[in-house]
Structure 1
Amino acid sequence: MVVIGAGIAGVACARELSDAGVPVQIRERGRVVGGRMASRRFDGRPADLGAAYFTVSDPEFAEVVRGWQTAGLAREWTDTFVAYDGGGRREVRGPMRWAAPRGLRSLVEHLARDLPVVVNRLVLGVGPGPTVDGEEHAAVVLATPGPQAALLLDPELVAATEAVGRQRWSPTLAAMLRFPSRRWTEFRGAFVNDHSLLTLVCDDGDRRGDGDAVLVAHTTDTFAAGHLAQPTAAGPEIEAAVRDLLALADPAEQVHVHRWTYARPADGGGPDTGFHLDDDGIGLAGDAFGEPRVQTAWRSGRDLGRALARRLT
């Protein structure tokens, strides 16, 4: 069978199937695995441009995280952010947030080790059978945002088409900003409330643990929607907003903007059903089936993989 999409949901699904003895192949249109747990290197240093961190509450996910921690890939980061709003700057406590010194993508790579992953593989269509580009398979999983899955699904696959059609997604821009030195008041991450441009700013040097003067900022969906065609052009506005927020006199030495057309499920995701699996042999997985969290996506893939393993074995 085939899993389309090598984000954490797709990889978790494939891992369950492989462990159950079901032959599976992952097909990924991008150059690397990771999906929205995306990291990109700048001068040899990774910066997280997708998910900012992850939290843990599921006992089985905690076991996976312990494996990452043992391998030196994940570490506890912080349970304290700051919040900027009309009342100024204040500290907010929450669950422990985890980070990855080599970037969150390294965690998906570790989970995908020894799995058959084909990257740079563009799938053109999923049809009845089910089929992938005309090849018949026992089942097909689409572990991608709903709008991307909708482009692949044959209209005859009514149940899956209706399921992805119910999903609503919001965009964002993620900007990496490298400064000459660390001149900001100490913080780890900042929720930016009621701002016309920013929603989140993270100290990537603190998150990574190397102390580099690098910030990563995420924008509002409204601002992002106006710059999806030319995201790079939004760099000066994002930099100005970050410098204003943190009272930084020095300009950034380097700014890189990444576009996420489908950054997160809108309105907290779709129905909290965990995953979709229909009689046509089409499965859908991801954080659109619950709260938009890394753990949700992993659990969705895990549960779908187990359901498919029971069906196919």
Structure 2
Amino acid sequence: MLVVGAGIAGVACAVELTRAGVPVRVRERGHVSGGRMASKRFDGRPADIGAAYFTATEPDFAAVVDEWRAAGLVREWTDTFWAYDTNGRHDVPGPLRYAAPRGLRSLVEHLARPVPVTVDRLVLAVEPGPTVDGEAYDAVALAVPGPQAALLLDPALADATRAVQTQTWSPTLSAVLRFESRRWPTFRGAFVNDHPVLSLVCDDGDRRGDDAPVLVAHTVPEFAAGHLAQPSAAGPAIEQAVRDLLGLPEEAVDVHVHRWTYAKPTGEPTDVTHHLDVDGIGLAGDAFGPPRVQSAWRSGRDLGRALVARLG
């Protein structure tokens, strides 16, 4: 059994298979596991450049969070963000948001401990059989965004091809801004509405709990779409937008911009948590539900259980 993609959906799927005694391998084309629960280190300090946080409103996922908490990997962060809109700035209460002092990627790595993950392994083609790059498997789970899965699937795998073609995704740019000092009040996170550049800004020093002078900004899809070819060129515009939003003075800042071509599924959520067809092709991820970490985990878990039932 093969799982393609070592984000939280792929790892959750592989964990269910492993627990049931089904031999499974995970292939990840990136250098590390984590997917969009991505963290990048700057001078040894991690900053989250993918998902900004996560919530846990479902009991089964809350149990996983309790395991992370017991391992010292997560912390309760906040239930209140700022919001900027035409009426100015105001507080927005919401669910409790969790953060990871070592970066969200550390949570996926912890979850993946029982399963064999091979990184830097690009999958080129999934063909009937199912066969992956000429190697036959009992089943194959694709835990990657639909447009990426579509590039792998042989058109003869009609059910899976139709399933991924219904997915729509939007891009974003994530910018890590490292300042010389903290020149802003602690604000945790801020939703930015009706802005030409920004959609979300997080105080990464508060999120991580070390008060580092680091902000992480996420852009709106329209701005990102114009800079996918050369994301680093968008750095000055993002930096200026953050300065203007928070009223920050001019000072030296290091800016790193990361491109997410498929950042967020935009289709209407359904009651279906995954796809598994008669060809032995499974699909999982947060496209099967609201675009949240919790949804991605549940999708992978449910696909894993369906595969266990299928494979016996």
| TM-score between both structures, scaled by the size of structure 2 | 0.99
Q: d(CA) in 2 for partners of 1:183 and 1:63?
A: 38
For residues 185-209 of structure 1, the C-alpha deviation after alignment (integer angstroms, 9 at most, x for no partner) is 3200000000010000000000000
1:266-277 matched pairs, under 5 angstroms: 266-267=266-267, 269-277=268-276
Q: d(CA) in 1 for partners of 2:62 and 2:90?
A: 30
The yes-or-no answer on 1:256 pairing with 2:256 is yes
Query: Residue in 2 aligned with 1:204?
Result: 204
Query: Residue in 1 aligned with 2:70?
Result: 70
5+ unaligned residues in a row in structure 1: which ranges?
none
1:78-157 matched pairs, under 5 angstroms: 78-157=78-157
For residues 17-72 of structure 1, the C-alpha deviation after alignment (integer angstroms, 9 at most, x for no partner) is 00000000000000000000000000000000000000001111111100100101
Q: d(CA) in 2 for partners of 1:39 and 1:13?
A: 22
| 1:255 Cα deviation from its structure 2 partner | 0.3
SS at match of 2:287: helix
Query: Residue in 2 aligned with 1:217?
Result: 217
For residues 260-294 of structure 1, the C-alpha deviation after alignment (integer angstroms, 9 at most, x for no partner) is 00000014x55331000000000000000110000
> Aligned letter for 2:260?
W
CA contact (8 A) 1:177 1:214 kept: yes
> Aligned letter for 1:177?
L
CA contact (8 A) 1:177 1:252 kept: no
CA contact (8 A) 1:126 1:132 kept: yes
Q: d(CA) in 2 for partners of 1:146 and 1:270?
A: 14
Query: Residue in 1 aligned with 2:49?
Result: 49
For residues 166-197 of structure 1, the C-alpha deviation after alignment (integer angstroms, 9 at most, x for no partner) is 00000000000011111113200000000010
| 1:251 Cα deviation from its structure 2 partner | 3.1
Query: Residue in 2 aligned with 1:306?
Result: 305
Q: d(CA) in 1 for partners of 2:139 and 2:75?
A: 36
CA contact (8 A) 2:4 2:141 kept: yes
SS at match of 1:254: strand
> Aligned letter for 1:284?
L
SS at match of 1:249: coil
Query: Residue in 1 aligned with 2:232?
Result: 232
Identity between Structure 1 and Structure 2 (%)? 73
Query: Residue in 2 aligned with 1:295?
Result: 294
Q: d(CA) in 2 for partners of 1:98 and 1:131?
A: 39
Q: d(CA) in 2 for partners of 1:272 and 1:123?
A: 29
Q: d(CA) in 2 for partners of 1:252 and 1:93?
A: 33
Q: d(CA) in 2 for partners of 1:292 and 1:253?
A: 31
Query: Residue in 1 aligned with 2:61?
Result: 61
CA contact (8 A) 2:6 2:26 kept: yes
Q: d(CA) in 1 for partners of 2:149 and 2:199?
A: 27
Q: d(CA) in 1 for partners of 2:279 and 2:74?
A: 38
| 1:134 Cα deviation from its structure 2 partner | 1.1
Aligned pair count?
312
> Aligned letter for 1:244?
D
| 1:81 Cα deviation from its structure 2 partner | 0.3
Query: Residue in 2 aligned with 1:278?
Result: 277
Query: Residue in 1 aligned with 2:29?
Result: 29
Q: d(CA) in 2 for partners of 1:185 and 1:100?
A: 21
Q: Which runs of 4+ in 1 moved over 3 A?
A: 269-272
> Aligned letter for 1:283?
G
For residues 124-154 of structure 1, the C-alpha deviation after alignment (integer angstroms, 9 at most, x for no partner) is 0001010111111000000000000000000
SS at match of 1:120: coil
Q: d(CA) in 1 for partners of 2:69 and 2:249?
A: 38
| TM-score between both structures, scaled by the size of structure 1 | 0.99
CA contact (8 A) 2:37 2:48 kept: yes
